[in-house]
Amino acid sequence: MKVENNLSTLLAEIDEVTTTRPAIIAVTKYVTIDRAREAFDAGLMHFGENRIEGFLEKKAALPEATFHFIGSLQTRKVKEVINEVDYLHSLDRQSLADEIQKRADRTVRCFVQVNIADEESKHGLKADEVLDFISGIKDYDKIEVVGLMTMAPNIQDQSRLRRYFAELRNLRQQVQAMLQDNAPCTELSMGMSNDYLSAVQEGSTFIRIGTKLVG
């Protein structure tokens, strides 16, 4: 399918459940540069990649787009990519925060990644660790916590998925209530091909779509 067609289907579905459209991040990790360019030409402005090589390659091909690093980032690789990212979606530990503070030339917009269903296989802080982690980085001037990110379990039960997304939204409110200067935490990065409608219904502001858009 053409990206253009996939996008109009996606937007129509979103518009049925909400009046405030989230930003759509085209996740291009499985596809070629040509396919990413097709997505850009279809009007998509945000792109997401989860590996450094793919990230740098797509960014070089589409210098006018906004680039989101959505994969887990090894501490020793921070220096290779941190000054190229527009948004990092995977801040999930103190050692990573320390390395960003050391290597970044400017303030990096970060999402704190939360393992909302506490799954063995997933990265991210547990929900009950998030507030302490964020207050622990309050003096890090190279980090701005713009929001929270989660990958929900790969299940079909939409009502259960909605409860996880609602939990992330509640957690965002608790972060906002801390009134921490470098943690405005206005955004929610949640929703993938399998669960974006549930995420949008719970107030997602960035959805990350691969398969349904460019796959």
Ligand X SMILES: *Cc1c(COP(=O)(O)O)cnc(C)c1O
Question: Which residues of this protein are in contact with ligand X, per CB under 6 A?
Answer: 27, 29, 50, 70, 151, 192-194, 208-212, 215
101 vs 193 by CB, closer to ligand X: 193
Specify the residue for token string 């713009």: 146
Task: Report CA-CA distances (Å) from 206 to 25, 89, 93, 178.
Answer: 7, 11, 22, 22
Number of CB atoms found within 10 A of residue 55's CB:
24
* Cβ 29 to ligand X shortest distance, Å: 6
CB 109 within 8 A of CB 146: yes
- Calculate ∠ Cα 205-211-215, nearest 5°: 130
CB of 196: closest distance to ligand X in angstroms?
8
CB of 194 to ligand X, least distance (A): 6
Which residue, 50 or 182, has its beta carbon nearer to ligand X? Answer: 50
Q: Whose Cβ is closer to ligand X: residue 8's or residue 211's?
A: 211
Which residue number is nearest to ligand X in terms of Cβ? 210
For ligand X, the closer CB: 54 or 215: 215
Alpha-carbon span 128 to 116, nearest angstrom: 10
CB of 215 to ligand X, least distance (A): 6
